[in-house]
Amino acid sequence: MKVIITNDYDEMSKTAAEIIKEQINKKANSVLGLATGSTPLGTYRELIKMYKNGEVDFSYVITFNLDEYVGLPDDHPQSYHYFMYENLFNHINIKKENIHIPKGISDDFDRDCKLYDEAIEKFGEIDLQLLGLGVNGHIGFNEPDDYINTKTHIVDLAEETINANKRFFKSIDEVPRKAVTMGLGTIMKSKKILLLASGKNKAKAIKETLNGYLTTDVPSTVLSLHPDATIIIDKDAASLIDVEKVKENDDVVLKL
């Protein structure tokens, strides 16, 4: 893996946005895998700026989001559908038909999960997958467990995730207990992966991600098997890693 350590959140976001811009400029019809949550907000703000400055064109870009809460309709302010339109899609020239987000409401989730995987497969692979990182090492909503489904599936959210995400809801009781998520197999098939993390609360998960072992207790450790994964973290998220030790397995770029 390549590990880029930046001074702060803004620098992390700018670095990620540059890589995404380069990807789109290299291939206009790039298939992007997108994440929600606090982490990619700055990256999306940068991409919007780049679009407004004429530096990048989204008209042929295709997107697949990682996940959605089960039970929230698309227009619910905490749904990931709403998040994506509010924080990115409404501000760029992406075509609605090129946007894919798992459905949070369905009369047949098995069918819809299968259709989601088939829709991705139709485009071959995801060219660039953007990931945030859960405090427990989840990617997408692939939570720590003995077994992790490799395809799009329904998952019970971990207590840590429910606690971490309650900040977006009026009370913890309103946080959905289940989500639909892209599986680790699809994520790992992406040609390029960009994992972002900032803040001290991600330091432990980052340390484990870079420990050089694989365990389903920390789903992000699977990324060490990917041929083109880049981790962009700020100083705080990097605070528990031993850079010299990480250098034994990974390329480290310090932007400090």
Under the rule (CB under 6 A), what is the footprint of ligand F6R? 35-39, 66-67, 132-134, 138-141
Active-site position among 127, 143, 234, 236: 143
Q: Which is nearer to ligand F6R, 26 or 167 (CB)?
A: 167
Which lies closer to ligand F6R via its Cβ, residue 94 or residue 196? 196
CA distances, 210 to each of 51, 109, 155 (Å) = 34, 34, 25
Element (H, E) at 215: none
Shortest Cβ 244–ligand F6R spacing (Å): 28
Residue placing its CB nearer to ligand F6R in the complex, 104 or 140: 140
Q: Is 125 a catalytic residue?
A: no
In the three-class reduction of DSSP (H, G, I as helix; E, B as strand; rest coil), residue 6 is classed as strand
Active-site hit among 65, 117, 138, 165: 138
Annotated catalytic residue 46 = no
| 73: its two tokens | 């309709």
Minimum distance, C-beta of residue 88 to ligand F6R, in the bound complex (Å)? 12
Closest separation in Å from C-beta 54 to ligand F6R: 29
CA distance 106 to 143: 22
53/171 with CB nearer ligand F6R: 171
Between CA 234 and CA 243 the distance in angstroms is 13
Catalytic choice (11, 46, 65, 67) = 67
**Per-residue b or e along 88-107, where b marks 16 or more CB atoms closer than 10 Å to that residue's CB:** bbebbebeeebbbbbbbeee
- 138 classed as catalytic: yes
Phi, psi for 2 (deg, rounded to 5): -105, 135
CB of 53 to ligand F6R, least distance (A): 26
Would you call 84 exposed, middle or buried from its count of C-beta atoms within 10 A (0-12, 13-18, 19+)? buried
Q: Mark whether 100 is an active-site residue.
A: no
Run of H or E residues at 214: none
Residues with catalytic roles: 67, 136, 138, 143
